[in-house]
């Protein structure tokens, strides 16, 4: 055996035992005739002691060890004279009597420490070294525990784990597909699944009743902190259910994960909020409810007083930052520049302070009397010491989204977005469709298999844009951690949906005929949900990005800089696939 124990398990009760350890050299410290080596493995850190008085040659060998060398030692467990209360093994050390170098190491390109000196690009290139760091390893351990708890919970609820194919047909609705050429079928392509959506519906038609899968999904889309080209879903589907059944089951799973993985017991039902309410008062379909700061519409208060920016606006809205009246002019100017950034797009910001005596001082005082400013204070429910921030614009939805960004930034600056506090809710009653300027037609807001609310089905013929969906998203701390819907299980209704989305009957049959045909053979009512595993782990780990809870992630350009992928194929491979590459001039680098 290379080891009898790991580097994280020895304690004071083991003093006097002969042990064998193996791992990586974290650091070497020389103190007179003694050399101390910290030996690390996945399980922890143990201090080794070499004494020149006991064995000069062995101590000399220890002096030549370098960082990240792989070694094996034998020795006796002893009680430390200078204990380290910050280490689980800090009460003991190993008096080494033999040392074997298993593999020398070059000096690593960055320190393998919690606070490393390696930048993101460097750590991504040497990801196998980055994974040795405690912070990253703990994220993967959390991910493992989460998948085990997910399986345990769903198994207890009668779900079957069933795998679905990775090579499927391409579907044009939604994000772009990653496509895979077929050598045996020249000129034809598979797609990597964006979701097992239709396949899990077919499993319901098959009578499987309750399905789940922890599954890789792929979307060829621009990346953000919460997106990667390949990601992992906890994908679930249930038969003979209505919306309330699905929500109840997966709210239960969320509470189970919070309790088992974070030690947080959530006893109250999660808040329900309609999509329309969320957009009106928070400017987002995933509002962060760890803090209040709801929008207040101010058209009646501020319009018609000679300030042309407001007089010409289609929407004027404000938020009240409690206790923030002490913001300096420099801070307020910085906030104004923040909302004017291209990715937010506001033209400016108006502010008003409620002074200690109750008067209101505003950046547009010359246009408004104190009487009107008091109306503003009342509308905003502002107290002395509060700061009112106001945005306006000629597009209501766009301005609300800008106000949402301002609200989130103020929440961050005021310390209201505590990562150890959790605010969970369901957003429900989404619109069935949204208008696409690019396509010039209605698109499915979720996907074309979502069931409309029963009471809105007649509107499919008269006003489809007003139809609401039996769809629901779970939101935690402003992050959409999962979403789903009740599905259409009637082939006639599914055909109607495709018609509204601009599919000809022939096109619908070509792409989704397998599903509509299956519905003709006794499809049960069914619905489901998919949780984002990467998002859940990053939420529980307190991360700002999902990247550090994925073993081998892509960078912001969708590249794996460690494997140098994607990469060009050689001519022989292209010939076998019957492919010829002709890169447009605009795409050449």
pLDDT tens digit sequence for 227-236? 899 999 999 9
pLDDT at position 426, please?
Answer: 98
Domain boundary (353, 386, 413) is at 413
Q: What is the DSSP string of 455-494?
A: GGTTHHHH-GGG-BBSEEEEEETTEEEEEEEEBP--HHHH
Give per-residue pLDDT as tens, 485-509: 999 999 899 999 999 998 889 988 8
Are 317 and 344 members of one domain? yes
pLDDT digits (tens, 9 = 90+) for 329-382: 999 999 999 999 999 999 999 999 999 999 999 999 999 999 999 999 999 999
Task: Indicate the residue among 413, 436, 455 that finishes a domain.
Answer: 413
Residues above pLDDT 70, as percent of the chain: 98
Tokens 């496509």 map to which residue? 179
Cα separation of 298 and 202, whole Å?
Answer: 50
Average pLDDT over residues 196-202: 95
Tokens of 1: 């055996």
Longest dimension (CA), the chain: 93
Q: What is the pLDDT of residues 281-300, one digit of tens each?
A: 999 999 999 999 999 999 99
Q: How confident is the model at residue 587 (pLDDT cuts 50, 70, 90)?
A: low
What average pLDDT does range 151-179 have in this prediction? 91
| Same domain, residue pair 151 and 260 | yes
Could you read off the pLDDT of 386-422 as tens digits, one per residue? Answer: 999 999 999 999 999 999 999 999 999 999 999 999 9
- pTM, entire model: 0.91
CA distance 541 to 549: 8
pLDDT digits (tens, 9 = 90+) for 80-117: 999 999 999 999 999 999 999 999 999 999 999 988 98
Domain region containing 481: 138-272+424-549
Number of structural domains in the chain = 3
Q: Are 210 and 159 in contact (CB under 8 A)?
A: yes
Residue 37 · residue 50 · CB < 8 Å? yes
CA 538, CA 1: separation in Å to the nearest integer? 37
Of 250, 300, 256, 280, the residue nearest 483 (C-alpha): 250
Query: Which CATH number belongs to the domain containing residue 99 in this structure?
Result: 2.40.50.140
Is the residue at 496 inside a domain? yes
pLDDT at 442: 86
Decide which of 367, 385, 413 is a domain's last residue.
413
pLDDT averaged over the chain? Answer: 94
pLDDT band at 588 (very low <50, low <70, confident <90, very high): low
What would the mean pLDDT of 117-142 be, rounded to a whole number?
94
To 5 degrees, how large is the angle CA 516–CA 519–CA 521? 130
153 and 204 inside one domain: yes
Residues 6-43: pLDDT tens digits?
A: 999 999 999 999 999 999 999 999 999 999 999 999 99
Residue 348: enclosing H or E segment and its boundaries? Answer: none
């Amino acid at each position: 055996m290379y080891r009898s124990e790991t580097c994280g398990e020895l304690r004071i009760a083991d003093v006097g035992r002969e042990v064998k350890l193996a791992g990586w050299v974290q650091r070497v410290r020389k103190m007179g005739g003694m050399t101390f080596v910290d030996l690390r493995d996945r399980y922890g850190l143990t201090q080794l002691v070499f004494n020149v008085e006991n064995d000069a040659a062995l101590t000399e060998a220890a002096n030549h060890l370098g960082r990240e060398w792989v070694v094996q030692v034998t020795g006796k467990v002893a009680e430390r004279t200078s204990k380290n209360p910050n280490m689980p093994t800090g009460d003991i050390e190993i008096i080494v009597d033999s040392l074997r170098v298993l593999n020398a190491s070059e000096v690593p390109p960055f320190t393998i420490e919690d606070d490393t000196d390696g930048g993101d690009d460097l750590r991504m290139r040497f990801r196998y070294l980055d994974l040795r760091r405690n912070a990253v390893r703990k994220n993967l351990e959390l991910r493992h525990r989460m998948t085990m708890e997910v399986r345990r919970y769903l198994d207890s609820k009668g779900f079957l784990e069933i795998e679905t194919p990775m090579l499927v047909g391409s579907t044009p609705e939604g994000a772009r597909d990653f496509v895979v050429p077929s050598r045996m079928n020249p000129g034809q392509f598979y797609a990597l699944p964006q979701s097992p959506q239709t396949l899990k519906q077919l499993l319901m038609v098959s009578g499987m009743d309750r399905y789940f899968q922890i599954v890789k999904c792929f979307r060829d889309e621009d990346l953000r902190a919460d997106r990667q080209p390949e990601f992992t879903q906890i994908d679930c589907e249930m038969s003979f259910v209505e919306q309330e059944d699905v929500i109840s089951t997966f709210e239960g799973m969320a509470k189970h994960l919070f309790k088992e993985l974070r030690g947080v017991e959530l006893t109250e039902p999660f808040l329900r909020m309609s999509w329309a309410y969320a957009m009106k008062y928070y400017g987002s379909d995933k509002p962060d409810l760890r803090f209040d700061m709801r929008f207040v519409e101010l058209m009646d208060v501020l319009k018609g007083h000679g300030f042309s920016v407001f007089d010409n606006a289609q929407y004027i809205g404000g938020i009240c930052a409690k206790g923030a009246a002490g913001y300096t002019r420099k801070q307020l100017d910085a906030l104004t520049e923040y909302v004017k950034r291209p990715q937010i797009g506001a033209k400016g910001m108006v502010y008003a302070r409620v002074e200690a005596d109750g008067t209101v001082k505003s950046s547009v005082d010359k246009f408004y009397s104190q009487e009107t400013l008091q109306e503003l204070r009342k509308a905003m429910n502002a107290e002395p010491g509060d700061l009112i921030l106001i945005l306006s614009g000629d597009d209501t939805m766009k301005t609300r989204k800008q106000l949402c960004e301002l609200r989130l930034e103020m929440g961050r600056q005021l310390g209201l977005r505590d990562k150890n506090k959790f605010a969970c809710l369901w957003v429900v009653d989404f619109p069935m469709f949204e208008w696409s300027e690019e396509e010039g037609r209605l698109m499915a807001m979720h996907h074309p298999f979502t069931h409309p609310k029963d009471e809105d089905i007649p509107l499919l013929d008269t006003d489809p844009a007003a139809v609401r969906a039996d769809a629901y998203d779970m939101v935690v701390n402003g992050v959409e951690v999962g979403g789903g819907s009740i599905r259409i299980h009637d082939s006639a209704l599914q055909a109607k949906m495709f018609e509204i989305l601009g599919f000809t009957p022939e096109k619908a049959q070509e792409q989704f005929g397998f599903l509509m045909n299956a519905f003709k053979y006794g499809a049960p009512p069914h619905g489901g949900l998919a949780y984002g595993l990467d998002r859940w782990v990053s939420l529980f780990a307190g991360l700002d990005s999902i990247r550090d809870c994925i073993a081998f992630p892509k960078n912001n350009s969708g590249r794996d800089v460690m494997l140098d992928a994607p990469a060009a194929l050689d001519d022989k491979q292209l010939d076998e696939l019957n492919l010829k590459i002709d890169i447009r001039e605009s795409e050449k680098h």
